[in-house]
């Protein structure tokens, strides 16, 4: 863009006055754009910052088993992503002509395994909502029957690594 100049060498007095008025008008319209430009810059910074800090990401944790409370929990994807070959967390449904049974199984880093099964329709529905990236928590009684199952989809859960 060429720089505009209103020097006396190039213009007569009347032309200089018109030139200065034109420059002022251009400056005035540019000044009106500054708030819009500033707003766009702020929005761009917020969007860039948002993608840089996309949310809380806890460290990869495996399976937790509490024998006193008779509970086991973990995130399926985080369990898969652990560096060991020991931990496992899985829930599944088995169906036959006589009904559906829901099952959950957990094995922690120490190799401690706990499992439960259920024919309760509510718990079977919860197990059916499990995905490969779900956080799962289950509880059992002394007969290894599931008494509670929770499945959460959480932004903090990492996707499974290959």
For the chain, what are the domain ranges?
1-54, 64-152
Q: 64-152: which CATH number, 2.60.40, 2.40.350, 2.40.50, 1.20.120?
A: 2.40.50
Token readout for 53 is 């800090």
The answer, yes or no, to whether residue 76 has pLDDT greater than 60, is: yes
Residues 120-123: contacts with CB under 8 Å, at least 24 apart: 120/146, 123/148, 123/149
CB-CB neighbours of 63 under 10 Å: 26
148 DSSP β-pair partners: 139
The pLDDT value recorded for residue 158 is 65
The answer, yes or no, to whether residue 126 has pLDDT greater than 50, is: yes
The answer to whether residues 104 and 146 touch, using CB atoms and an 8 Å cutoff, is: yes
Alpha-carbon span 59 to 25, nearest angstrom: 58
With 0-12 CB in 10 A as exposed, 13-18 as middle and 19+ as buried, what is 132?
exposed
Where do we find the tokens 């049974």?
101
Q: What is the mean pLDDT of residues 23-46?
A: 50
Q: For 37-75, how does the pLDDT look when each residue is reduced to its tens digit (9 = 90+)?
A: 555 544 444 444 443 445 656 655 789 999 999 999 998
Q: Quickly state the pLDDT bin for 12 (edges 50, 70, 90).
A: low
Alpha-carbon span 40 to 161, nearest angstrom: 37
Q: For 128-143, how does the pLDDT look when each residue is reduced to its tens digit (9 = 90+)?
A: 999 888 899 999 999 9
With 0-12 CB in 10 A as exposed, 13-18 as middle and 19+ as buried, what is 56?
exposed
Instruction: Report pTM.
Output: 0.62
């Amino acid at each position: 863009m060429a720089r505009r100049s209103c020097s006396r060498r190039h213009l007569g007095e009347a032309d200089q006055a018109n030139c200065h008025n034109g420059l002022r008008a251009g400056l005035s319209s540019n000044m009106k754009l500054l708030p819009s430009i500033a707003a766009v810059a702020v929005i761009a910074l917020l969007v860039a910052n948002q993608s840089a800090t996309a949310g809380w990401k806890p460290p990869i944790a495996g399976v937790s088993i509490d024998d006193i409370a008779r509970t086991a929990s973990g995130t399926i994807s985080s369990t898969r992503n652990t560096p060991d070959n020991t931990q496992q967390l899985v829930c599944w449904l088995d169906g036959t002509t006589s009904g559906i049974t829901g099952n959950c199984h957990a094995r922690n880093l120490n190799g401690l395994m706990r499992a439960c099964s259920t024919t309760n329709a509510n718990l079977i529905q919860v197990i059916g909502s499990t995905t490969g990236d779900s956080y799962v928590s289950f509880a059992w009684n002394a007969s290894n029957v599931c008494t509670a199952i929770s499945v959460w989809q959480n932004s903090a859960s990492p996707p499974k690594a290959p």
